[in-house]
Structure 1
Amino acid sequence: MKLAEQIAAEILRGFDKHYRIFRDISSAAKDRFERADWAASREAGRTRIHFYDQRVREAVDLVSDRFPLATVEELIWPHVKQAYFQLLYEHRQPECAETFFNSVACRVLDRRYYRNEYIFWRPAISTEYLTGGEPDYRSFYDRGEGLRGALRDVVLSYELRGQWQDLERDLDRLERAVAEHFGGPWTSDVDFQIQVLSSLFYRNKAAYLCGRARNGYREYPFVVPILKDEQGAMFLDALLLSPQDIGRVFSLARAYCMVDMEVPAAFVQFVSSMLPRKPRSEIYTLVGLQKQGKTLFYRDMMLHLKHSSDCFTVAPGTKGMVMAVFTLPSFPYVFKVIRDWFPPPKDVDRAKVEDRYLLVKHHDRVGRMADSLEYSHVAFPLERFEPELLAELKSVASSMIRIEGDQLIVKHLYIEKRLVPLDLFLQKSDEQRTRAAIREYGNAIKELASANIFAGDLLLKNFGITRFGRVVFYDYDEIGYLTDFKFRRIPKARDYDDEMSADPWFSVGPHDVFPEQFPTFLFADPKQREIFMELHGDLMDPAFWIAAQDRCRRGEQADIFPYPENLRFSRRFE
């Protein structure tokens, strides 16, 4: 066997090992759900995130040790790429295997990103019509019992072990929800069928049944959450039919899902048909294939740059002391570069900032923290940077950029969905929208606390608001586990001099927090402060925070649903 073929075969063996382990832990989510082992579910989610980098490092070490010529002779890599391509002809995960090849090749070649002939810059293997040994989705029909019979067949097809609270009651509720949505009982055409993915989507304490109903010329995507009660009995909790409600389930502001997929491209294509506006990069990331999501996002970004002409500019909002943030107006994302130095009172360093972002990646984001894509050595066209932005990057982050010809190379950056900063939103909002946003702001703080997260810096500028009015936190340099902080009341002043002193008359530890100060510290506008105190006055009481800490220490996991409470059958059909 030629050297190039040997290297290619070794890299593919590394990928196959990765995907085998990835699939094993993902498929075991069904057993964890059946046993209601939520602690194991959380640990599996954290563990799986590291799998890809571990397998890449193993493959890099193996190739470097066994084939030292590959590390110094770059001209061999186009032949390795060709040999690898031939191995993927009948592969079930070719797109992910190509990305794995890129990761290994870039590290072996010391990340020479600009030599695209050495890597799969574009996909070489089509994933259209790619199927596995078993169907990726199953179809169910009206067997004479109408919609109810088809729905029963769907639910029972997953063969979940355990008792149901009352499946017939839940099927009644599904039929009622369908009738309410469509304004009357369901009428099936001759070609009526329900198609559902062969694996449930598992996340936190829920399993999500994802499918689409086809009836005549129409197609209706839907999601049904399956939950367990305190006794371990299962029940159907809701029927989600609108794109907005389904999109919330697939939001990257939450933990990634566990899904058993032999052919990930087929699952992604199915979900894409349910949410055609959601980029496929996000769907790959959602199912735990973050590196593939990053690959597709980067390709989408480069394609957008090729077909647009606007310039990168400083992102709107209050400038941060830790990050230099810029954006491209025509592209709905922000790019965040860690500054070389942090002005007082910031007491962090680069390593700590990176560690905080890693914490968020590993943690359950409960729909309240933006997911970040982390990249190294990204080449941007220099001519697309506004002079003001370029001057700022040179001033505060010069170690993170370099110019090579007509390109600006950013050595390390994070990319996130662009949101409207909450402070700017409130400046332009009427009373009704202000009230709704402040309610959401307080809810975000409380839901993060239930997940053992304290944002640290609660200033409005560190939160953003989505187009659907949901408030999300996105500034992580002071974030920490809620249980690491000490929530205190402000001691009473000893005398008049204490009251008038500019400095505190009591000791303050590095993790001490005084919630009584929140309204004054967070809201300069008296009306906004009044609304906050009315809606979320409990956040000013240390007792709220101490109780939340106690629940976290006991291992209690709050039920935070990615869909409105009023859609839950227990609320809707009491």
Structure 2
Amino acid sequence: MIVDPDLIAKKILDGFNRHYSVFREQSQEAKFEFEKGNYRGIRALSSERITFYDKRIKETSALLEKSYGESLRKDSLWPEVKKSFIMLLTDHKQPELAESFFNSITTQLLDRAYFKNEYLFVRPAVSTDYLGSQTPSYRVYYPLNIGIKKTLVKITLDFELNCPWENVYLDVRALLKRIFKTFEKPFRITPDLQIHILKSLFYRNKAAYIIGRIILDGDPVGFTVPILRNISGHFFLDTIITDKEQIRLLFSFSRAYFMVDMEVPSAYVSFLKTLMPFKPSSELYTMLGLQKQGKTLFYRDLLHHLKNSNDRFRIADGIKGLVMLVFTLPSFPYVFKIIKDERKKDVSRDHIENRYQLVKLHDRVGRMADTLEYSFVDFPLDRIQKNLLDELLKVAPSMCEIINERLIIKHVYIERRMMPLNIFLENASDSQIEKAIKEYGDAIRQLIAANIFPGDLLYKNFGLTKHGRVVFYDYDEIQYITDCNFRRLPPPRTPEDELSEEPWYKVGPNDVFPEEFETFLLTQHRINRAFKKYHAELLSPEFWTNQQKRIEEGFFDDVFPYPNEQRFFPDKNIE
């Protein structure tokens, strides 16, 4: 069979173009759902979109297998296909994404023994610098021409949302008042004052975010303005966020991905980098819903870091997990998690992987860490501490293989590294404990709002971010609140019952007894006092059953990435 590299390259690019076309259609659909107030529809679109990439990879790979079969395994073929593919990307608007798609296809079709750098895009072949769409990715406004108030109204209405506004002029006055308070130097309308606004809104849950920057004296000041709907279904501007750390938190690894319609994703990432210069591009691509590109860039960052560092991977701090082995590289702010072969819990590998996928597809409400999932990752053997290597080969031998001084790990999850909450609490002051325990309870409440029960509430399963935010990261026992059976503890029938180490009552697989939380969570006096000050009702079964009813009745609680007091009108009700 004659195999044409040009035709294979074209079929791969056609597969990518189909994928990105559907990706954009989903993002555009988010606008229509937002206009209707169909927030569940937005969540469904976001979850569904995550699965599209793998479907297109399988579809395109199957097409190539059917057409060429074993001819695809020829050593001489793939360097030629790669060259042809690069030529096709000359005027492409998403070349970096197409290169990642090409890598996914080759790794899907070829046995690992065939993976070679000349077959893959280890580094980008096509630059995305100054890559633009037919129309610019952002609009530019000059307030000197028509005045600042009219400019802000025009910015708001230019998104052409098909729904009435409550009172856009009142919102703009509140917005302007906040801007004047925020800027350290006097805010003057000068000829060089510009406002840049990305053309697509950023949709997530109940909000659509305007993302922009103010250029004053040549320096960009980033901002975001969330648009919400009131109980009458009318739009309003809720606040303006200009603090860099708050903007970073909006794009946090613990939140759901945005729905954004982008012809040129690299232009959006470039714009966002001016607002968050220290946030890795891998995380920005991921938060834009392009998690496969995020994975590609993350892996390149890891390889670059390994080349320019000399510390060694070691077992992570904290209590050893019952189902996971966790290790880290001290100079790299992530942890690597491997499912053990023999687990001290009666859970299967499939169940654990299913739980991690549930979190990937679910709204993480700022309280669950996102994970990057990789297969066949190789690590230099001389960069791994001996006790870590021994532990890996002892508890997860099926996941490890040593080849030519490299350790190949066949399946690994990677997460942002956090301080385990139990370690923090051991050495914390009274005020630090109170703040952390309030955060811990708030995290549980917000997980409840997202219909998530963590399963195991022990502090070792929660981490503290550098911003002091508590995030849950152990998912093997996670389940939906609506699947749980919250019960009161039955009273003991006899004194012997009360002294018994075993329960005197039947316990079903989904039974939860909130009264027991105090026994294993609140034995330390300072923690007990702080928890009961802010979250005593979490110890009551009635609280949990009431939350269940709200979820079952379709209530969609509000969990926003900024404090309520920051809103223009804190008492305003949201649809």
Cα drift, residue 217 of structure 1: 2.7
Q: 3-state SS of the aligned residue for 1:361?
A: helix
8 A contact 2:488–2:513 mirrored in 1: yes
The aligned counterpart of 1:387 is 386
Deviations 1:196-249 (A, max 9, x none): 101000000100000000011321100000000121100100110011111111
Deviations 1:361-407 (A, max 9, x none): 00000000000000000011110000111111011111101100111
The aligned counterpart of 1:266 is 267
* Segments ≥4 residues shifted beyond 6 Å: none
8 A contact 1:148–1:171 mirrored in 2: yes
1:88 aligns with 2:102: no
Q: Amino acid of the residue matched to residue 274 of structure 2?
A: S
8 A contact 2:220–2:274 mirrored in 1: no
Distance in 2 (alpha carbons) for counterparts of 1:478 and 1:415:
19
Cα drift, residue 146 of structure 1: 3.0
The answer to which of 177-186 and 152-161 deviates more is 177-186
Q: Give the 5 Å matches for 1:481-560.
A: 481-560=480-559
Cα drift, residue 313 of structure 1: 0.5
Q: Give the 5 Å matches for 1:229-240.
A: 229-240=230-241
Deviations 1:385-440 (A, max 9, x none): 00111111011111101100111000000000000000001111111111000000
Distance in 1 (alpha carbons) for counterparts of 2:428 and 2:146:
52
Distance in 2 (alpha carbons) for counterparts of 1:379 and 1:476:
25
Identity %: 49
The aligned counterpart of 1:454 is 453
Call closer, same or farther: CA 1:468–1:205 in 2, change over 3 Å: same
The answer to which of 162-171 and 349-358 deviates more is 162-171
8 A contact 1:371–1:416 mirrored in 2: yes
Deviations 1:248-271 (A, max 9, x none): 111121111000000011011111
Q: 3-state SS of the aligned residue for 1:265?
A: helix
Cα drift, residue 69 of structure 1: 4.2
The aligned counterpart of 1:168 is 169
Q: Give the 5 Å matches for 1:27-38.
A: 27-38=28-39
Call closer, same or farther: CA 1:274–1:70 in 2, change over 3 Å: farther
Distance in 2 (alpha carbons) for counterparts of 1:222 and 1:254:
18
The aligned counterpart of 1:296 is 297
8 A contact 1:376–1:411 mirrored in 2: yes
Q: Amino acid of the residue matched to residue 557 of structure 2?
A: A
The aligned counterpart of 2:61 is 60
Distance in 2 (alpha carbons) for counterparts of 1:189 and 1:55:
50
1:25 aligns with 2:26: yes
Q: Give the 5 Å matches for 1:272-283.
A: 272-283=273-284
Deviations 1:132-152 (A, max 9, x none): 112100101114443222211
Cα drift, residue 572 of structure 1: 9.2
Q: 3-state SS of the aligned residue for 2:76?
A: helix
Cα drift, residue 573 of structure 1: 11
The aligned counterpart of 1:223 is 224
Cα drift, residue 112 of structure 1: 4.3
Distance in 1 (alpha carbons) for counterparts of 2:185 and 2:126:
46
The answer to which of 142-151 and 194-203 deviates more is 142-151
Distance in 2 (alpha carbons) for counterparts of 1:511 and 1:232:
38
Cα drift, residue 41 of structure 1: 0.9
The aligned counterpart of 1:465 is 464
Cα drift, residue 9 of structure 1: 0.5
8 A contact 2:433–2:526 mirrored in 1: no
Call closer, same or farther: CA 1:538–1:573 in 2, change over 3 Å: closer
Deviations 1:479-506 (A, max 9, x none): 0011111000001111211111111111
8 A contact 1:70–1:77 mirrored in 2: no
The answer to which of 398-407 and 549-558 deviates more is 549-558
Distance in 1 (alpha carbons) for counterparts of 2:528 and 2:285:
41
The aligned counterpart of 1:416 is 415
Deviations 1:315-352 (A, max 9, x none): 00111001000000000000000000112xx1201000
Distance in 1 (alpha carbons) for counterparts of 2:114 and 2:336:
19
1:341 aligns with 2:350: no
8 A contact 1:566–1:572 mirrored in 2: no
Deviations 1:59-92 (A, max 9, x none): 1001111112443213200000000000000000
Q: 3-state SS of the aligned residue for 1:14?
A: helix
1:355 aligns with 2:358: no
Q: 3-state SS of the aligned residue for 2:327?
A: strand
Call closer, same or farther: CA 1:93–1:70 in 2, change over 3 Å: farther
Q: Amino acid of the residue matched to residue 140 of structure 1?
A: Y
Q: 3-state SS of the aligned residue for 1:107?
A: helix
The aligned counterpart of 1:51 is 52
Cα drift, residue 570 of structure 1: 1.1
Deviations 1:449-468 (A, max 9, x none): 11100000000000000111
Q: 3-state SS of the aligned residue for 2:220?
A: strand
The aligned counterpart of 2:73 is 72
Q: Amino acid of the residue matched to residue 367 of structure 1?
A: G
The answer to which of 366-375 and 247-256 deviates more is 247-256
Q: Once superposed, what is the RMSD of the aligned Cα atoms?
A: 1.5
1:370 aligns with 2:369: yes
The aligned counterpart of 1:316 is 317
Q: 3-state SS of the aligned residue for 1:106?
A: helix
Q: 3-state SS of the aligned residue for 1:67?
A: helix
Q: Amino acid of the residue matched to residue 535 of structure 1?
A: Y
Cα drift, residue 523 of structure 1: 3.1
The aligned counterpart of 1:150 is 151
1:40 aligns with 2:59: no
Q: 3-state SS of the aligned residue for 1:188?
A: coil
Cα drift, residue 564 of structure 1: 1.7
Distance in 2 (alpha carbons) for counterparts of 1:178 and 1:113:
57
Q: 3-state SS of the aligned residue for 2:156?
A: helix
The answer to which of 274-283 and 148-157 deviates more is 148-157
The answer to which of 210-219 and 437-446 deviates more is 210-219
The aligned counterpart of 1:478 is 477
Call closer, same or farther: CA 1:384–1:561 in 2, change over 3 Å: same
Distance in 2 (alpha carbons) for counterparts of 1:99 and 1:111:
17
Q: Amino acid of the residue matched to residue 235 of structure 1?
A: F
The answer to which of 486-495 and 363-372 deviates more is 486-495
Q: 3-state SS of the aligned residue for 1:120?
A: coil
8 A contact 1:74–1:109 mirrored in 2: no
Distance in 1 (alpha carbons) for counterparts of 2:5 and 2:309:
39
Distance in 1 (alpha carbons) for counterparts of 2:389 and 2:113:
24
The aligned counterpart of 1:406 is 405
8 A contact 1:462–1:474 mirrored in 2: yes
Distance in 2 (alpha carbons) for counterparts of 1:551 and 1:251:
27
* Aligned residue pairs, count: 572
Distance in 2 (alpha carbons) for counterparts of 1:573 and 1:340:
52
Deviations 1:493-531 (A, max 9, x none): 112111111111111111111101112212331221221
Call closer, same or farther: CA 1:183–1:27 in 2, change over 3 Å: same
Q: 3-state SS of the aligned residue for 2:57?
A: helix
Q: Give the 5 Å matches for 1:6-21.
A: 6-21=7-22
Which TM-score applies when normalising by structure 2? 0.97
8 A contact 2:3–2:68 mirrored in 1: no
Distance in 1 (alpha carbons) for counterparts of 2:113 and 2:125:
20
Q: 3-state SS of the aligned residue for 1:341?
A: coil
8 A contact 1:368–1:447 mirrored in 2: yes
Q: Amino acid of the residue matched to residue 201 of structure 1?
A: F
Distance in 2 (alpha carbons) for counterparts of 1:341 and 1:347:
10
Distance in 1 (alpha carbons) for counterparts of 2:245 and 2:532:
30
The answer to which of 190-199 and 1-10 deviates more is 1-10
Distance in 1 (alpha carbons) for counterparts of 2:13 and 2:185:
54
The answer to which of 71-80 and 200-209 deviates more is 71-80
Distance in 1 (alpha carbons) for counterparts of 2:158 and 2:114:
46
